[in-house]
Amino acid sequence: MITATTWVPRGFAAEFPVRQEVTEEEYERIADLARLQLEDAQEDLDDARAEAGEEGSKKSKKGEKDAVEMKDADEDREDKEAIDDDLKEYDLENYDEPTEEEKKTGEVMGMFGNIKGLAYYQPGEADPYITINDAEDDEEREELQIFPTDNLLIAAKSEDDVCHLEIYVYEDSADNLYVHHDIMLPAIPLCVEWLDIPVGKNLTNAPNARGSYVAVGTMDPDIEVWNLDLIDTLYPNAILGAGGAPAPTEITKKKKKSKRKAPVANDTHHIDAVLSLAGNRQHRNLLASASADKTVKLWDLNTTTCAKSYSHHTDKVCALAWHPTNSTTLLSGSYDRTVVWADMRAPDATPPRWGLESDVEDLKWDPHDNNYFYVSTEGGAVHFFDTRVLPASPAASRPVWTLQAHDKSVSSFDISPVVPGFLATGSADKTVKLWNTQTETGGPSMVSSRDLGMGRIFSTRFAPDAEVGFRLAVAGSKGAVTVWDTSTNAGIRRTFAGRVAAVAPVAEGAEVVEDRLVGVEESSGESESEDGEGEDDGEDAGPDGWESMDEKDD
C-alpha cells in the first residue's frame, strides 16, 4: 500500500542526479552497523525467551540446528565427490604437460597453446573488453535526466514486508509517469514532507542554500532525511531522534545492556511512531513532527536537534499544518477529537482549541484565504472553520459549514492552490470526490465522484505549480499512484472555467472527453483483498496507516 505522497515543485531537482559511489570503507562501516543491530536483536530475543521461560526450547532448537548443519556438511561432501568425478575426464592434473605433437616439434606452449588465436592491440588502440564506452555512460546519464518542466512525486510504499520511497518523474506534456529511483526504509512509512533546504551535520547551510530533500516518518520514532539528488545512497543525510546519536560514522563497541525500561516521553526525541510532518516555508530550518506519543516536536534542521516539545493533546497527534503567513503558529489535530492552534514562541500559553465529533484524520489551511482551515474526520465529515471566531471551549465550536463527504473516514483531502474553492477528498470507501466550496448558497456541492481502482484512498495531493495545478495525485491500498488531470472532466470545466484562464468552458453539444489519467502499471499482484472479504471495513486505516497497526483506544 501507499500511505502518503508529496509533490516536489519544478526546478528544485538536480537535472542530473548523482549516483553515489560506495567505497570499501563505507561497506565495512555499514556491515559493522548491521552487526551491532543484529546483536541488539539477538539480545532482545534472548531476554524475551528468558522472561518467558523458554530456555529448554532454546536448547532444543540448538540441537536441531546442529543436526541440520551435519546434514548440510554430508551433502556438501557428496557434491564435491560428484564434481571430482566430472572433472576426471579433463585430466587437469596434467594440464601443463606437453602434448605428443609438442614433444615432436619441440615447441612447448603449455597453457598458452592457443596463443596464435589471441588478439593483440597496439599502444593507443582500445580493447573493447576492458575499455569503458563513453557512449554507455552518456546514455545512462540521459536516462537519469530530470528536466526543469518535470515534477517529482514521492510515494511512501509498503509491500511484502519491504518498505521504501518511490520517486516518480511526472512529464505532463508526454502523459508519462515513471519511477526514477527508490530509497529503502527501515520501517513502514506513515508520512513524508519535502524540504528545500540542505540537511546534514556536515553541510554548510548558507541562508539562501537550496536543495531537494525528503523527511520520512515511520513506525519507528526516528525521522530520516534523504537527499533526493543522490541515487543508490545507503544511509540518510540526517536522523532526527535518538537514532541520530552517535553519528552514523561513529561506531562504538556495544555495552552490556541493563534491564530494558519502557521509554518515557521527553523533550529531545519521539518515543513512538511519527504520524505527520510539516516543513515551515518561511523559516526553512524548522520542521514540526507529530507522534503517537501525544507530543509535537519542533526540529532545527541546521543542527538536526529538537528545539522544543509541546504537549497540547491527550491522545495521538496525527495532523499538522503551519499557517501560510503567520509562520510561527501551527495547527495540530489529534485522536482526542480536538484541533489546537498554537504559537510555537509561547509554549506555556493556552492556545485556542476546536472540538469535533470524531477523530481527526487530516487538516489544512485554505491557501486562498488564510483566515480559514479545513479538517477531515474519521466519521467521513469535512469541517470548515473561521479562526476569527474562537470557541470559548471545544464543545462550543461552530464551523462555517460541515460537509458529510463520505460514509467512511476522509483519510486525505487537498485544496487546489490554483483554483479557489476546489476541494478533493479521498476516503476509505475507495472513492475520490471533487467539490465546489464556493457556491451561491455558501455551502459545498459535489462536482464529480470517481472510483479510480486504487483501493482505499490514503493520499490525495494537488500539484503545486500553476501549469499543472489541476493535476491530482491519488494513491491507496493497492500500492499504485495515479495522476488525474481533473481539467479534462466536463463537470470541472463547467464549474471552474470562469475562475482560471487555463480552463476553457465546455460548449453546448461538444463531445465529452474521457478523464485523463496517468499511472504506472503494477506488475505484481495485489497486496490485499479489495473486495472486502477477509477484512473488517469498520476499522478504517487513516492517512498515516496507524489504525491498522494499533487500536486508537490503547
pLDDT in tens, 237-252: 899 988 765 444 444 4
In a domain, 82, yes or no: no
Query: From CA 414, how far away is CA 402, in angstroms rounded?
Result: 16
Least confident of 159-163, 168-172, 177-181, 536-540: 536-540
Backbone CA torsion sign across 80, 81, 86, 91 = positive
Q: What is the DSSP string of 172-222?
A: TTTTEEEEEEEEE-SS-EEEEEEE-S---TT----TT----EEEEEESSS-
In a domain, 40, yes or no: no
In a domain, 377, yes or no: yes
In a domain, 381, yes or no: yes
Q: For residue 132, what pLDDT is reported?
A: 55
Cα–Cα distances (Å) from 93 to 84, 88, 89, 97, 379, in that order, read 12, 9, 11, 9, 80
Q: How many distinct structural domains can be found in the chain?
A: 1
Q: For residue 57, what pLDDT is reported?
A: 58
Please, what is the average pLDDT of the chain? 81
Domain harbouring 425, CATH code: 2.130.10.10
pLDDT in tens, 341-354: 999 999 889 999 99
To which residue does cell 453539444 refer? 509
Query: From CA 236, how far away is CA 249, in angstroms rounded?
Result: 12
Res 533 pLDDT > 60? no
To which residue does cell 551433502 refer? 75
317 grid coordinates = 497527534
Which residues 6+ apart lie within 8 Å of 445 measured at CB? 435, 436, 439
Domain encompassing residue 404: 2-14+149-519
Which residues 6+ apart lie within 8 Å of 526 measured at CB? 455, 478, 479
Query: From CA 376, how far away is CA 413, in angstroms rounded?
Result: 8
In a domain, 379, yes or no: yes
In a domain, 512, yes or no: yes
Q: What is the spatial order of strands in the sheet that 457-462 belongs to?
A: 457-462, 471-476, 481-485, 516-519
Q: For residue 540, what pLDDT is reported?
A: 42
In a domain, 43, yes or no: no
In a domain, 47, yes or no: no
Phi, psi of 193 (to 5 degrees): -145, 125
Confidence of residue 485 (pLDDT cuts 50, 70, 90): very high
Which residues 6+ apart lie within 8 Å of 528 measured at CB? 1, 455, 477, 478, 535
120 grid coordinates = 593483440
Q: For 112, which DSSP code? A: G
For the whole model, what pTM was predicted?
0.75
Q: How large is the angle between the packed helices 24-52 and 55-87, nearest 10 degrees?
A: 140
Confidence of residue 235 (pLDDT cuts 50, 70, 90): confident
Using alpha carbons, select from 176, 172, 160 the residue that is nearest to residue 521: 176
| Cβ atoms of 530 and 477 closer than 8 Å | yes
Query: From CA 357, how far away is CA 337, in angstroms rounded?
Result: 7
Q: Before 246, cis peptide (omega within 30)?
A: yes
Query: From CA 464, how far away is CA 408, in angstroms rounded?
Result: 28
List the helix and strand counts (H, then E) for the chain. Answer: 5, 30
240 grid coordinates = 532526527
pLDDT in tens, 390-406: 999 999 999 999 999 99
Confidence of residue 499 (pLDDT cuts 50, 70, 90): confident
